[in-house]
Structure 1
Amino acid sequence: MQRECMEQLRCQVCAQPARTDEGCLFLAGPDEVHPNDAVVPTAQPPVCIHHARIAAEQCPHLQGRPTVFLAQSAPLYGVIGTLYQYTDGGLQALPATDQDALPHGHPGLRWYLTSQRIRRLRAYTIINLNDLPPA
């Protein structure tokens, strides 16, 4: 489901299109991103305007106080997963590193078992959840 929602910009709650005339809403947990970052990576699919408040209230990761991004540009970037290597004993997972995310086109992707897609929020505005129109 994460892959389809990320690829098609569908709401992670209802799987309906999440795009509005102003862009797509993405939620991040408190202290997860710095508001001054020019590019914000996310593995969380967008939410539609009708489910933004519900997601913020019910998702434990967001702690009821998410950073809300209204993104006008959020291209697919790459994937999160596990890197494998071929050994005499067969395929073996390598220990996780800080480089768990690989961009599309990376030569190591052929040895990578993908678990999530990543988008990079590039043109966005941080908005207040209370400023959204009622659902």
Structure 2
Amino acid sequence: MSTVSRLVPYITAREGEEPESILALRATFDRAGRSALGYWDESREDRDPRGVLWGRCSQLIGRDGLPSGRPQWRLVHPARQRETMTQLRCQICVGPTRTPEGHLFLEPRAASGVARPGDILRTAQPPVCLAHRHVAVKQCPHLQKGYTALMVRSAPLYGVIGTPYQWTAQGIKALPGDDTPIPYRTSKLRWFLASQLVRCLQDFTVVDLDDLTTPDSYA
């Protein structure tokens, strides 16, 4: 499949979408009076319902209300990932993913291993709708190496992935980080800038994509 013919997922970042400068960050205080990371011109939308600060990034939106511009295939837009993960919307078309059996999540085999009933998996990958289940597998390099399809009935929020910061004599400084999910209600999140939302996948059934039937419509 050529690059031109590829369907660009909704959550994929586009060229020209730029993160906010570190100069926009400052040291502030949380509701308990403890030092915390914040923005100089912070608004309510900058934090999620759990009080975690999120990285700002510009968005290029076309006349159709969808992202436009050349895709940056390996990058995920933080606001769109957060939107689809919060609302359990399809990461490709931003459409609904709920089915009578649950929500479909596709996990790389290396990450999920052999999923068994009772396992709890953590993921930053939003679900996919049934109509785009095969497209997701064909286009995602991580899924092409092997994947597990899970029909999930319970996927509570767990925490976030992002970048830790600290205050120094020279000002705000970003610290080395990785993709390890940080759970909510952890003190280190006071000095953390989130970029991806993480859910726990539990109460699921391992399914075969070919056994699933795409309905004409579902909500």
Residue pairs, 1:50-129, within 5 angstroms: 50-63=131-144, 65-96=146-177, 100-129=180-209
Aligned length, in residue pairs: 134
The TM-score, its normalising length taken from structure 1, stands at 0.91
The TM-score, its normalising length taken from structure 2, stands at 0.58
Q: CA offset at residue 64 of structure 1?
A: 6.4
User: Partner residue of 1:16?
Assistant: 95
1:58 and 1:64 in contact (8 A); partners too? no
* Greater than 6 Å deviation, 4+ residue runs: none
Consecutive unaligned residues of structure 1, counting only runs of 5 or more, are none
User: Partner residue of 1:45?
Assistant: 126
Q: Which has the higher strand share?
A: 1
Amino acid at match of 1:16: G
Q: Report 1 or 2 for greater relative contact order, CA contacts < 8 Å, sequence distance ≥ 6.
A: 1
Q: CA offset at residue 134 of structure 1?
A: 4.7
In structure 1, distance between residues paired with 2:102 and 2:130? 11
Cα-Cα RMSD? 1.7
3-state SS of 1:109 partner? helix
Q: CA offset at residue 13 of structure 1?
A: 0.7
Which of structures 1 and 2 has the bigger CA Rg? Answer: 2
1:30 and 1:63 in contact (8 A); partners too? no
In structure 1, distance between residues paired with 2:99 and 2:151? 9
2:84 and 2:90 in contact (8 A); partners too? yes
In structure 2, distance between residues paired with 1:59 and 1:132? 20
The counterpart of 2:111, out of the listed 5, 14, 32, is 32
